[in-house]
Amino acid sequence: MTPKAPANGADRSTDSYLPGHGNGGYRVLHYDLDLDYRVLSNRLAGRATLTATATQSLSRFTVDLGRLRIQDIRVDGRPAKYVHRPDKVQIRPERPIHAGDTFRVDIRYAGKPVPVSGRWGDLGWDELTDGVLVASQPNGSPSWFPCNDQPADKAAFRVAITTSSAYTVLVTGDLVSRRRGPGSTTWVYERLEPTSPYLMSVQIGRYELVDLSVGGVVQRAAIPPAVRTRFAHDFGRHGQIMETMQRFFGPYPFREYMVVVADDDLDDPVEAQGMAIFGKNHVDGRRTHERLVAHELAHQWFGNSLTVADWRHIWLNEGFATYAEWLWSGVGGELSADALAVHWYTRIAARPADVVVADPGIARMFDPLVYKRGALTLHALRKKIGDESFFACLRSWVAEHQHATVTTEQFREHAQRFAREPLDALFTAWLDRAALPPLPR
């Protein structure tokens, strides 16, 4: 029997841009994923246990899951009825769940994982020439596990993956065990910090592990052996970049940072929780892409520890990470933030002024204007309140919202605490209107 849609929009999230991804009625506390993956046949078999708390009474609820075949669903150990439609599973437990109850959902599933296709290309679980890459921003997580796929529903994770011992498995989290069997190895990772589903990543390949820096924050890399020499040069200043970011933004928010260089070309690097993934084309031995190294590291503060409550606030991720590029450029002996602000202002002024940074719309979420005008907004704020107040503002913003979700309005209110004059006009001009305001000097 096909269940009726859950009441009160429980099959939809509150995200204004992607309401079809994510679900209402509950919040996930913990994901426990046990996965078995065969690289050559691209076959994934999984068992997912979601521990959640109901935010309303539920006679039924939904989770997000892509084109993988469900074998069984149980709620609190009892068989549950379900209907799996494209990307959404409607579940009717044997007994209703009361508001405030903590409940457990066990889902067994299997199949050949494929990325989620859409306006941003293929997202999620994706086959490499020899291995796997997972890059899920903003809605690719259901390609490989059942989840509440919205950025605001952050949870802890345990992920165990068994695959051929010829491959290294890297998951966003701390490695807690590795058990080798006949021909296969099981890797177990834990991510205890609250994490959005899109920031969970799996990387499988024939990688060599190297240190990025010695001392301080643990910084490691997984690379194809063929890029070893070029990588050593291109990422040779990573320890300095980490120190710079910590000086500007406060302590690194996780236990470890892992860089993965896939043995394939990628259009753009991708950040995950405690991890960044580059293509081998980003390693050329000339530090051509060092700004992207800084950008992805900055996302550990802005995007990963502090995560947008809704995708319309994406400038809080991308504008901040772009400004971090500019800050590192000056420290690293290249153009200063002032010079880069003038450069990008001139380029933006030559383009149509047709994006509102604080609410760019789903079609323009990842538009370069959101990145560059977002960075210019921060530069304008810095000029308005001065360096001492500006960097104190950023450090306290990070500290007060660590591992939580944030909105543009929260940042406006936070920044006002560090200003002697009202900032309403500045933020309105830079964030709420498409017209480009004058660049402050």
| CATH code: domain of residue 50 | 2.60.40.1730
Residue 439 lies in a domain: no
Count up the domains in the chain and report the number: 3
Do 28 and 147 share a domain, yes or no? Answer: yes
Do 252 and 194 share a domain, yes or no? Answer: no
**H or E stretch including 337?**
helix 337-349
Do 213 and 201 share a domain, yes or no? Answer: no
Side-chain half-sphere exposure of 228, counting CA atoms within 13 A: 7
Do 82 and 187 share a domain, yes or no? Answer: yes
pLDDT, residue 14, reads 81
Residue 441 lies in a domain: no
Do 15 and 141 share a domain, yes or no? Answer: yes
Residue with tokens 């490695």: 175
Owning domain of residue 247: 208-297
Do 142 and 200 share a domain, yes or no? Answer: yes
Would you mind telling me the total number of residues written for the chain in this entry?
441
Beta bridge partners of 261: 278
Residue 438 lies in a domain: no
Do 18 and 156 share a domain, yes or no? Answer: yes
Helices (H), 250-386: 290-298, 315-331, 337-349, 368-385
Do 51 and 187 share a domain, yes or no? Answer: yes
pLDDT, residue 9, reads 56
Do 235 and 336 share a domain, yes or no? Answer: no
User: Which residue, of 155, 175, 205, is where some domain finishes?
Assistant: 205
399: domain CATH number? 1.10.390.10
Task: Please report, as a single letter, which amino acid is at residue 424.
Answer: D
Alpha carbons 48 and 293: distance in angstroms, whole number: 33
Alpha carbons 131 and 418: distance in angstroms, whole number: 48
List the one residue out of 167, 166, 190 whose CA is nearest residue 177.
Answer: 190
226: domain CATH number? 3.30.2010.30
* Virtual torsion, Cα 107, 135, 283, 316, nearest 10 deg: -130
Residue 357 lies in a domain: yes
Do 265 and 130 share a domain, yes or no? Answer: no
- Extract the tokens encoding 273: 């929780």
Beta strands in 181-249 (DSSP E): 184-195, 202-205, 208-213, 218-223
Residue 94 lies in a domain: yes
**One-character DSSP codes across 9-24:** GTTS-S-SS-TTSS-S
Alpha carbons 153 and 155: distance in angstroms, whole number: 7
Query: SS3 of 311, please?
Result: helix
Could you count the other beta carbons within 10 Å of the beta carbon of residue 94?
12
Do 50 and 192 share a domain, yes or no? Answer: yes
pTM for the whole structure: 0.96
Residue 285 lies in a domain: yes
pLDDT, residue 13, reads 82
Q: Is 371 exposed, middle or buried (0-12, 13-18, 19+ CB in 10 A)?
A: buried
Do 152 and 176 share a domain, yes or no? Answer: yes
Q: What is the pLDDT along the chain (441 residues), one digit of tens a residue?
A: 233 334 445 677 888 999 999 999 999 999 999 999 999 999 999 999 999 999 999 999 999 999 999 999 999 999 999 999 989 999 999 999 999 999 999 999 999 999 999 899 999 999 999 999 999 999 999 999 999 999 999 999 999 999 999 999 999 999 999 999 999 999 999 999 999 999 999 999 999 999 999 889 999 999 999 999 999 999 999 999 999 999 999 999 999 999 999 999 999 999 999 999 999 999 999 999 999 999 999 999 999 999 999 999 999 999 999 999 999 999 999 999 999 999 999 999 999 999 999 999 999 999 999 999 999 999 999 999 999 999 999 999 999 999 999 999 999 999 999 999 999 999 999 999 999 999 988
